[in-house]
């Protein structure tokens, strides 16, 4: 059986029969340890218990020793003999003891203290700037010189980043849970909630905007950090911990620490980088935040509808009748009625089926649709037509397919003309476009290739025609490329193609 899953004796003090005495003793030792007071005398513990009226006057020091022995048997406290202020041999023989909380019990009591303040802690928060701080910390790690940097700096960068991630995870989870609590749902159903509705939505929207603004930047930096760099960084952290002197003589478990640091890094990547078989945690947080906004808006809408139903519309109708009375003629009254109550006899709008489904063709580039309407007068004679339940569209499909293939060949030729020696140099493209503007299709194709390339570490992708390419960035210089419908500022990059 895994040793970490065995029974924990140190937890018995919180559930034993004498827990009403054990817990105040442990909390007192916990608070004193935080004040850098290690070993506490038994008379101080006894005085504390009596000051809180937790024990009566019959509870003497011998009974306290009995309780402390039970706690020591469960590895909750450590004892040592008190050799100070010994005036007689009898006092020395009594072996008066001092007590200190153990590290394991300290962590347990720290958790119990957090649980005592659960109502205040679990409200959480959505810190919109937390993503910017994490981005800065990730960039600092990526820029670090693992071989030359000091151990303390590497350690501080790592610990700061992981603490920010932990704060983001716990605070966001607690705040989302707070919004879905029974207390929040009760507030959402009251009229007072309408006063805070805008604050809630603005707060959540600001968090979402900050998340969307920085999440892809963080993911990009994490993807650029290679595994050997992380391995070297963790090795430096292990070296730092190995230099910390320990009195008890315990050897550093390098393998355990290495595994813990790697798990932290994997968790950080899972938060921001989407994998082939899993969604990143930021996506889940974004969905939950969107759901919270929708819930708040839905409750607000319900409150407004209830308020409007119970509202007296007498003044509204009086104002409306005054407006009708001020109309110049019946036609103006008809126009006002249409604005207030809608058109009484609306006309239907008809449009034929789209000629093509391509996303590159704009609606104003398509041919206009003409529809012949027939009057409703009795004197109009309708033209007889042959009833056909299935219209043959084979010729239309062939014509559309021909137009589509011709257009595809034309676009392919455009791309072929700008590829020189299996390369497209944007800087040279900008020079050519200054003489003759380029077709907007070239811009759409280039932007699509850039979008594909930046999604992987190798900066590679394939065109819509199957050719593999590599994106190479030369400098931070900007290049202006003129197109028929405008000018685009682009980075100084080159597309290098494989094959012919």
Residue 176 CA to residue 173 CA, distance in Å, equals 5
Asked if residues 492 and 472 have their Cβ atoms less than 8 Å apart, the reply is no
Mean pLDDT of 59-80: 86
231-264 pLDDT per residue, tens = 989 888 888 888 777 665 566 778 888 888 888 8
Task: Give the pLDDT score at 384.
Answer: 57
Residue 94 above 60 pLDDT?
no
Looking at residue 374, what is its pLDDT?
A: 73
Specify burial of residue 36 (Cβ count, 10 A radius: 0-12, 13-18, 19+).
exposed
Find the range with the poorest average confidence among 140-144, 229-233, 272-276, 303-307: 303-307
pLDDT at 7: 75
Pick the residue with more confidence: 467 or 500? Answer: 467
In what helix (H) or strand (E) does residue 161 lie, and over which residues does it extend? Answer: helix 151-179
Lookup: tokens for 175: 């705040």
pLDDT at 456: 80
Helix (H/G/I), strand (E/B), else coil: 487: strand
**pLDDT score at 202:** 82
Per-residue pLDDT at 460 exceeds 60: yes
Least confident piece of the model among 218-227, 330-339, 356-365:
356-365
Candidates 489, 452, 453; CA nearest to 473 is 453
15-38: pLDDT as tens digits:
888 888 888 888 888 888 887 777
Name which of 133-142, 388-397, 422-431, 487-496 the model is least confident about.
388-397
Would you state the pLDDT for residue 124? 63
Above 50 in pLDDT, residue 1?
A: no
Asked if residues 426 and 492 have their Cβ atoms less than 8 Å apart, the reply is yes
Three-state DSSP at 234 gives helix
Kindly report which listed range (237-251, 271-285, 396-410) carries the lowest average pLDDT score: 237-251
- Tell me the CATH number of domain 3-116, given options 3.30.2270.10, 3.20.20.70, 1.10.10.10, 2.170.190.11: 1.10.10.10
pLDDT at position 86? 54
pLDDT, position 367: 73
Query: DSSP H helical segments within 225-329, as ranges?
Result: 227-242, 254-272, 281-309, 314-325
Q: At what angle do helices 330-341 and 314-325 cross, to 10 degrees?
A: 150
- pLDDT for the residue 10: 81
Q: Which pair of structure tokens corresponds to residue 297?
A: 């808006």
Residue 83: the pLDDT is 63
Rounded-to-integer distance, Cα 456 and Cα 299, Å: 43
Give the pairing type, strands 77-81 and 40-41. unpaired
Burial class (CB in 10 A: 0-12, 13-18, 19+), 477: exposed
- CA 274 to CA 218: how far, in whole Å? 12
Structure tokens at 338: 């249409």
Cα separation, 274 vs 272, in Å, equals 7
Per-residue pLDDT, averaged over 276-297, amounts to: 82
Beta bridge partners of 10: none
The token duo for 481 is 């490329």
**pLDDT digits 0-9 by tens, 345-387:** 766 666 666 656 555 666 667 777 777 777 777 666 666 555 5
What are the structure tokens assigned to 426, written together?
């944007």
Which bin fits 75, alpha (ψ -120 to 50), beta or left (φ > 0)?
left
Residue 220 has pLDDT above 80, yes or no: yes
pLDDT averaged over every residue in the chain: 80
User: Both tokens of residue 11?
Assistant: 């937890």
On the question of pLDDT at 421 being above 70, the answer is yes
pLDDT grade for 388, boundaries at 50, 70 and 90: low
């Amino acid at each position: 059986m895994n040793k970490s899953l065995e029974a924990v004796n140190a937890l018995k003090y919180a559930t034993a029969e004498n827990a009403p005495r054990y817990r105040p003793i442990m909390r007192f030792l916990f608070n004193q340890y935080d004040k850098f007071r290690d070993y506490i005398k038994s008379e101080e513990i006894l005085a504390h218990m009596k000051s809180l009226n937790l024990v009566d006057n019959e509870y003497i020091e011998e009974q306290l020793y009995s309780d402390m022995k039970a706690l020591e048997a469960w590895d909750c406290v450590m004892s040592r003999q008190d050799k100070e202020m010994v005036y007689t041999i009898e006092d020395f023989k009594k072996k008066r003891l001092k007590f200190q909380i153990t590290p394991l019990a300290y962590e347990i009591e720290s958790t119990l203290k957090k649980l005592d303040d659960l109502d205040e802690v679990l409200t959480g928060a959505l810190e919109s700037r937390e993503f910017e701080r994490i981005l800065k910390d990730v960039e600092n790690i990526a820029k670090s010189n693992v071989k030359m940097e000091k151990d303390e700096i590497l350690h501080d960068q790592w610990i700061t980043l992981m603490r920010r991630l932990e704060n983001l995870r716990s605070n966001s989870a607690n705040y989302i849970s707070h919004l879905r609590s029974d207390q929040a749902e009760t507030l959402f159903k009251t009229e007072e909630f309408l006063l805070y509705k805008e604050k809630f939505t603005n707060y959540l929207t600001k968090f979402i905007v900050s998340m969307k603004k920085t999440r892809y930047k963080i993911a990009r930096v994490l993807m650029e950090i290679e595994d050997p760099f992380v391995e070297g960084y963790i090795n430096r952290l292990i070296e730092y911990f190995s230099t910390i002197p320990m009195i008890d003589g315990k050897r550093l478990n390098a393998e355990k620490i290495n595994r813990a640091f790697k798990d932290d890094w994997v968790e950080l990547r899972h938060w921001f980088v989407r994998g082939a078989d899993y969604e990143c945690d930021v996506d889940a947080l974004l969905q939950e935040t969107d759901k919270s906004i929708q819930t708040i808006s839905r409750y607000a809408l319900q409150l407004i509808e209830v308020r409007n139903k119970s509202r007296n519309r007498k003044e509204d109708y009086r104002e409306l009748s005054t407006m009708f009375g001020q109309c110049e003629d019946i036609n103006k009254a008809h126009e006002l009625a249409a604005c207030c109550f809608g058109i009484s006899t609306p006309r239907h709008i008809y449009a034929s089926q789209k000629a093509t489904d391509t996303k590159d063709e704009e609606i104003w580039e398509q041919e206009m649709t003409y529809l012949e309407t027939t009057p409703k007068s009795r004197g109009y004679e309708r033209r007889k037509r042959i009833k056909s339940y299935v219209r043959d569209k084979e010729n239309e499909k062939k014509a559309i397919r021909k137009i589509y293939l011709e257009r595809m060949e034309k676009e392919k030729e455009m791309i072929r003309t700008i590829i020189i020696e299996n390369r497209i140099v944007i800087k040279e493209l900008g020079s050519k476009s200054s003489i003759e503007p380029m077709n907007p299709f070239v811009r759409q194709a280039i932007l699509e290739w850039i979008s594909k390339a930046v999604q992987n570490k190798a900066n590679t992708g394939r065109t819509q025609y199957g050719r593999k390419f590599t994106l190479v960035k030369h400098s931070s210089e900007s290049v202006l490329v003129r197109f028929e419908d405008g000018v685009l500022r682009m980075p100084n990059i080159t597309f290098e193609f494989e094959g012919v």
